[in-house]
Amino acid sequence: MKKDIPDNRVEDVAIGVALEKEDIESKLWYVYLINLKDTAIENVLITSKGYGEKNGEQVKTSVLRHMIPQLDAGAYALIEPIDEATFGLSNEYWLSYYIGREIYDKKFIFLPESIVESNFIRLPVLNKPGVMIK
C-alpha cells in the first residue's frame, strides 16, 4: 500500500555544475554531488541524461550511470564532465542513496539555459563558481 512507503525526503544534498577552467577558446565544466549533511551517504547511484529540442528536432543524450560507495559528511564527489553544447537541453540527474537501511532518491533537473553566468553562486564545499540545485 502507498501508506506503507516511507516519505524519505532528500535534504542537504545538492548537484552542482562548476566552471573548472576558462580560456580564450573554451570552458571546462564538471558536475559534482555535494553532501551538505552531517552524516555520510552510502551506495550512491546517479543516472544522468540530457533531452530536449535543438534546431526544431528532439534530442536525447546517452544515459550514464555512476556509483559512489560512500560520500562523507561535508564532502563532494565528481560525477562527470559536461559539455557546454548540452546546456540548451534539460540535464537530468537522478540520485539514489542510503543512510543506514533507509533509501532516498530525488531527480535534479537543470532546465535549458539555466547553466549561465547570471545564475552563478559560490558552490559550498567546492568553493568554485557554478550553478547548484538543492
Indicate yes or no: pTM above 0.75.
Answer: yes
Domain contains 63: yes
Q: How many domains does the chain have?
A: 1
Instruction: Return the CATH number at 63.
Output: 2.60.40.10
131 within some domain: no
> Is 26 part of any domain?
yes
8-50 pLDDT, tens digit per residue, is 889 999 999 999 888 888 889 999 999 999 999 999 999 999 9
| Apex 119 CA angle, 49 and 93, nearest 5 | 20
Domain assignment present for residue 57? The answer is: yes
121 lies in a domain? no
27 located within any domain: yes
User: Is residue 129 included in any domain, yes or no?
Assistant: no
Domain containing residue 18: 2-115
DSSP 70-104: EE-TT-EEEEEEE-GGGTTSEEEEEEEEEETTEEE
Decide if 134 is inside a domain.
no
Render pLDDT for 66-125 as a digit per residue (tens, 0 to 9): 999 999 999 999 999 999 999 999 999 999 999 999 999 999 999 999 999 899 999 999
